[in-house]
Amino acid sequence: MVYPMGGGATRLYSALSRPQALPEPPNATLDPAFCTEHKGSVVRSSDPEELLRQCEEALRDRPPRFHRKLVHVHENRNSASSGHFRVMQWNILAQALGEGLDSFVQCPLEALSWSQRKYLLLEEILTHRPHILCLQEVDHYFDTFQPVLAGLGYCSHFCPKPWSPCLDVEGNNGPDGCALFYDQAEFELLDSVNIRLSAMRIPTNQVAVVTMLRSRRSNRCVCVAATHLKARAGWEWLRSAQGSDLLRQLQTLVQRHSPESSPAEEDIPLVVCGDFNAVPSEEVYRRFHASPLGLDSAYKKLSRDGTAEPEFTTWKIRPSGECCSTWTTSGTPKTRSGWRRFWTCPQRSRLAPTGFRPSTIRPIICLWFVTSASGKSKVWN
């Protein structure tokens, strides 16, 4: 079953599909009424302000969106000529899992409806307008995110999980996976690879999307990865193995595109975004921190001394109990920071007692991460 984008006040899109195996996309078309209203214009001519207005109109009876404070961190004044770009990292919660398997309690049913969540998700993305967008648990790529964002000038790459749990949900929209979008006005694509992560040379169900981009303004390259490691307690060893595999493949890609002899300041910046499902005490966290790629957690930049992780990045309540913890999700080099601004983590008092459960103002269970970076950053999220 495909949930259409059209209908209601916004009439953004509708999707027509026939059953087929992914990753081949279904046939998707614009809502005829939307085309008539815009005189048959193609999707790539869409206006982001108009799309945002339509999302806000569809949500007009809902409480205002959840706001977070934008703060400035240490700024490298010599990096001004490198060009800056905005990165957004977000596990958006697969629709099939939210409605079928994740068993969220204290959550109104209307908050899980795709007819509402899609507008909340798009509103947040359109508000921040990142140059690079990394998403996890995407099961509405072909009928929603790809056509909508392509209309705003984004190019994208999607890697579905081979054994997605979404496929076990009746009426699902296909497998979920990782998606990486970049603004074609800011970047050109040099290389892209979809990775099925392995553990001890055995393929697993977790994936990553890695792209090598070149800035059209500074002509500098940047390597960006989006991933989602194995969830749940008891699988720490598997997350560690998957992280090691990803680090190895990232190092290979970066070396392939690096000049044979280049000074350290000319190293290719690396941004690794993802839902690692790992607390800071886990081995996979230490592996990224000790990697020769020079990665460190971007969340630390929000602390007073630059060394502490936030109190929490995910907070959800299920029948098995309440989970409020820090799951690693972004990072920078230990020797220098190219990050300039961050959206802060909300205080616990603002979320209690419901946490980050999907609601009429929060469509997700994990904190979204938006930052402004320079062309000199290396991060893992």
The helix or strand, by DSSP H or E, that contains position 253, with its residue range, turns out to be helix 236-257
Whole-number mean pLDDT of the chain? 76
Worst-scoring range by mean pLDDT, 112-121, 287-296, 362-371?
Answer: 362-371
Residue 245 has pLDDT above 60, yes or no: yes
More reliable by pLDDT, 201 or 12: 201
What are the structural domains of the chain? 68-380 (3.60.10.10)
Q: Which two tokens stand for residue 273?
A: 């975004």
Q: Please state whether beta strands 70-72 and 339-343 pair in parallel, antiparallel, or not at all (unpaired).
A: antiparallel
Sheet of strand 221-228: strand arrangement:
187-199, 202-215, 221-228, 270-275, 378-380
Q: Are 247 and 293 in contact (CB under 8 A)?
A: yes
Scanning the structure block, which residue is given the tokens 């614009």? 30
CA 293 to chain centre: 21
* Confidence bin at 183 (pLDDT 50/70/90): very high
Q: Are 298 and 369 in contact (CB under 8 A)?
A: yes
pLDDT in tens, 314-355: 766 767 767 766 655 554 444 334 566 666 666 666 665 554
- Average pLDDT of 196-215? 97
Specify the 3-state DSSP secondary structure of 84. Answer: strand
